[in-house]
Chain A
Amino acid sequence: MTIVEVNDLSKKYGELMAVNGLSFSIEEGEIFGFLGPNGAGKTSTINMLTGLSRPTSGQIMIAGFDAVKEVKRAQRIMGVVADESNLYGEMNGFDNLCFCAALYGMRKAEREQRAGQLLAEFQLTGAQDRPFRAYSKGMRRKLTIAAALIHQPKILFLDEPTTGIDVASARQIRKMIKDLKKQGTTVFITTHYIEEAERICDRIAFLVDGKIVRIGTVAELMADTESEHQLELTLDRSIPQLVETEFKQHFPSLRLENRGENASLLAAPHRIALSPILRYLEEKGIAVYEAREVRPSLEEVFVKITGIEATKLNPEKEGGKQ
């Protein structure tokens, strides 16, 4: 069953088209991801879907409600995690959750029971009496997610849930998202981490400059660019210039690239048969230790489709690695 149906959705801020004619639908129980660089329009889209902002044009249907005209009815089944952790700094973790529950009309006993349960699930029970402002970044993020789940929403909107937090917390959050899916919750997530989208999303939309440039399952997105087959070889030394020239004459349909010290990459429009190559290299006195088929990563697919360098998508990660 379709739970979210968006049709030709646009948002204009003055002259700027932040969101430009989006159409997509989300199935119940699906994890649907928006992947795009800064300023692509991810947050603008979430704000329109959740009723925090009014579309310039277009329709949004959520669980059968017109989410533009009947916002308040649609909001009953939504949980929203904003891109900032925005609970009340002066209140402690437990009170924060209870207050959020009250906003959804939950009774006191139910509020407290559910708050305790979520604190335990997110391993925050030990911090429940500390004020929110004294929480670490990762703890804040977790409590903010817990707050969005307090009324057991049918659909959860997550705006960059793992940006700026450490690997372990991010993994915990991703696991939590997968568990939610098992319980039947629909998840709409925005991110600029390609691996994150690849790892947890059933379907991904690439968003650039307010437009969806491609949408599909990870496999579908990959299939688009899998026209080239690649083989990576690990050798005992790099191929000498002379051998390389000869090799190219011998195997005209293959492309050979030297990749650093002892590695070479072979590429061809067809699958590559291994034994003729091994035999040829052996004759030249070059030993092959490993031959590995390389599948393009979603990152390469993204770069190819959008023309945006992956480093632009998440510079902090690249910076951290070097």
Chain B
Amino acid sequence: MKTWIAFWNILKKDMRNYYLKPPNISWGIIFPLAWTLMQLIRAPQSFEINQLLPGLMAMSILFGSTSMLAVTITFERRGRSFDRLLLAPISLTTMVLAKTCGAILFGVFNAFIPVLFAAFFIDLAGTNWLLLSFGVLMIAVTSTLLSLVIAVSVREVFEAQTFSNFFRFPMLFLCGLFFPVSKLPLFLRPLAYCLPLTYGADLLKRALMGGGMMSIGLNSVVLLAMAGLLFVFAERCIRRKWIL
């Protein structure tokens, strides 16, 4: 009960202070919107929203959750208010869960903004919503944990933002959303299969358009395993780096 009170209040505080602030909400919207416009201007004839949608969703999640963690963790660590969480009588796991939960929810929320816009233009009746939600959740979880590892390793907010880009952009272009993995140069393909986003994107595509490279089962198992590994790794980094 006591742990739950702490957990819920950390989550609630982050939501109020960071996630629900207008400038932060725009993070997950601007980039996908810009991308859509770019596609529209570049090739108005072959412009198809449903082809673009999985990629837009992935982008929204990625930019939404990773940019938030840089704020909620790196920023609070610089102001030392983060020490309060380390001094609280709650386990490190609970604290990490509470901190990441907000960013994950934020990512999920962002993912559905492009869907909402798309619903005005295309028919989404054939969508497997359950699968879509699962895919969105797993992308949010894995990218949040990845950026948690980054947040643990840096001291400044701008460093966190810069390093996030190091994996955000390559991930987006290697995951098969914009170019199919089979069309990537041979030496990049193994790398694509190391990225959680590749599996998440495959789920999104299957849920929205059917088809897909790998089976649902394979995708889910790999995503869950990666999430578990990342969580354990992030927590170990935290123990090593934060409790000096």
Contacts and interface: CB of A to CB of B under 8 A. Distances in A.
Nearest to B86: A52
Contacts of B91: 72
A106 B5 contact: yes
Interface in B187-244: 243-244
Given A73-B89, A102-B6, A104-B6, A82 B83 contact: yes
Nearest to B82: A86
B1 interface: yes
B165 interface: no
Interface in A86-111: 86-91, 99-100, 102-107
A103 B84 contact: yes
Contact of A53 (B2, B5, B6, B243): B243
Contacts of A75: 87-89
Contacts of B8: 102
A185 interface: no
A103 B10 CA distance: 8
Nearest to A13: B244
A59 to B, nearest CB: 17
Given A73-B89, A91-B17, A105 B1 contact: yes
A73 B13 CA distance: 24
A210 to B, nearest CB: 16
A235 B81 CA distance: 58
A313 B79 CA distance: 27
A75 B6 CA distance: 14
Interface string A69-89: 000110110101010101111
A89 to B, nearest CB: 7
Interface string A30-59: 000000000000000001001111100000
B5 A105 contact: yes
B90 A103 contact: yes
Interface residues of B, number: 25
A116 to B, nearest CB: 18
B81 A88 contact: yes
A86 B83 contact: yes
B3 interface: yes
B9 A103 contact: yes
A81 to B, nearest CB: 11
Contact of B89 (A53, A76, A91): A76
Nearest to B18: A90
A147 B87 CA distance: 12
A251 to B, nearest CB: 60
B42 interface: no
Contacts of B79: 86, 89
Given A86-B79, A88-B13, A89-B79, A103 B88 contact: yes
B84 A104 contact: no
Given A99-B13, A102-B9, A52 B81 contact: no
A313 B3 CA distance: 43
A88 B243 contact: no
A78 B215 CA distance: 52
A52 B87 contact: yes
Interface string B1-39: 111011011100100010000000000000000000000
A82 B90 contact: no
Contact of A82 (B3, B5, B80, B243): B80
B78 to A, nearest CB: 10
B85 interface: yes
Nearest to A83: B80
Nearest to A89: B79
Contacts of A88: 13, 17, 76, 81
B1 A51 contact: no
Contact of A52 (B17, B89, B90, B243): B243
B87 A104 contact: no
Interface of A: 47, 50-54, 72-73, 75-76, 78, 80, 82, 84, 86-91, 99-100, 102-107, 147
Given A54-B243, A72-B91, A99-B13, 4 more contacts: A52-B83, A99-B9, A102-B10, A103-B90
22 contacts: A72-B89, A72-B90, A75-B89, A76-B89, A80-B83, A80-B87, A84-B80, A88-B81, A89-B79, A90-B17, A91-B17, A99-B9, A99-B13, A103-B6, A103-B84, A104-B6, A105-B1, A105-B3, A105-B5, A105-B89, A106-B5, A107-B5
